[in-house]
């Protein structure tokens, strides 16, 4: 879904997003938000998000991905605010691994609701508006740079062409394990008895 809203100035978004992220970090619920998001590991993984990261390792990658997710949520909140609530404009393009961590953060509904109320913000996220064609140099990257958070870790910031290439490789592996493309179905019945340890 396209937006007719003119995207806001990068400096304004960057400055506001940096303020929002600092406010989130100073909020009483921040520690609960981050620790709860990290504990969600048994539920958060899909076949098409985190596995795209080369040599993915939960212990190594969860914390940096969480940092990227919080930065993107601050950017989206800034765009939402500066466009008078345009959800389509605020649904910035992000790579699949970062998007998956955003879902893990937003699953912390109680603390996110409290944070939005206390900070007078909205952290928009509309799945029906998501597009999976993030590419380096897009407006998301411009806003990220304007927030002065340093270089994006390219380990996670994969453009859509690289995501498609990696998904093709993963799908070959998934098929070998009996899963249809992107892990959307399988024929395993779970009738077989699990082998017992000797």
pLDDT at 88: 95
pLDDT at 41: 57
Whether residue 108 is contained in a domain is answered as yes
pLDDT at 37: 80
Whether residue 2 is contained in a domain is answered as no
Reply yes or no on whether the pLDDT at 70 is more than 90.
yes
What average pLDDT does this structure show over 38-44?
A: 60
pLDDT at 116: 97
Q: What is the 3-state secondary structure (H, E, C) of the chain?
A: CCCCCCCCCHHHHHHHHHHHHHHHHHCCCHHHHHHHHHHCHHHHCCCCCHHHCCCCCHHHHHHHHHHHHHHHHHHHHHHHHHCCCCHHHHCCCCCHHHHHHHHHHHCCHHHHHHHHHHHCCCCCCCHHHCCCCCCCCCHHHHHHHHCCCCCCCCCCCCCHHHHHHHHHHHHHHHHHCCECHHHCCECCCCCCCCCCCC
pLDDT at 11: 97
Domain hosting residue 148, numbered range: 10-182
Whether residue 44 is contained in a domain is answered as yes
| Structural domains counted in the chain | 1
pLDDT at 182: 75
Whether residue 69 is contained in a domain is answered as yes
In angstroms, the CA 49 to CA 96 distance is 5
Whether residue 198 is contained in a domain is answered as no
Provide the pLDDT confidence category of residue 173 given band limits of 50, 70 and 90.
confident
φ and ψ of 158, to 5 deg: -90, 130
Residues 6 or more apart whose CB falls under 8 angstroms from that of 120 comprise none
Whether residue 192 is contained in a domain is answered as no
pLDDT at 195: 54
Q: What is the pLDDT of residues 46-55, one digit of tens each?
A: 777 888 889 9
Q: What is the pLDDT of residues 117-138, one digit of tens each?
A: 999 999 999 888 888 899 999 9
Neighbours of 146 (CB within 10 A): 20
Whether residue 145 is contained in a domain is answered as yes
49 with 104: CB under 8 angstroms? no
Computed over every residue of the chain, the mean pLDDT equals 89
In angstroms, the CA 64 to CA 59 distance is 10
186 bridge partner residues: 179
Whether residue 196 is contained in a domain is answered as no
In angstroms, the CA 13 to CA 74 distance is 9
Reply yes or no on whether the pLDDT at 84 is more than 90.
yes
Of 145, 162, 149, the closest CA to residue 95 belongs to 162
């Amino acid at each position: 879904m396209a937006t007719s809203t003119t995207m806001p100035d990068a400096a304004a978004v960057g400055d506001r997003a940096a303020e929002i992220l600092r406010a989130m970090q100073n909020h009483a619920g921040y520690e609960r938000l981050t620790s709860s998001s990290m504990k969600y590991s048994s539920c958060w993984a899909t076949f098409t998000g985190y596995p795209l990261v080369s040599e993915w390792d939960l212990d190594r990658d969860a914390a940096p991905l969480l940092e990227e997710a919080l930065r993107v949520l601050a950017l989206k909140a800034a765009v939402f605010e500066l466009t008078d609530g345009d959800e389509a404009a605020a649904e910035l393009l992000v790579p699949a691994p970062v998007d998956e961590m955003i879902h893990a953060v937003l699953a912390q509904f109680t603390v996110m609701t409290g944070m939005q109320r206390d900070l007078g913000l909205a952290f928009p996220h509309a799945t029906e508006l998501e597009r999976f064609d993030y590419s380096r140099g897009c407006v998301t990257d411009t806003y990220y740079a304007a927030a002065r958070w340093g270089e994006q870790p390219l380990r996670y910031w994969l453009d859509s062409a690289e995501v498609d290439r990696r998904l093709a490789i993963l799908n070959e592996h998934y098929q070998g394990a009996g899963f249809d493309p992107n892990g959307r179905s399988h024929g395993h019945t779970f009738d077989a008895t699990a082998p017992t340890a000797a």
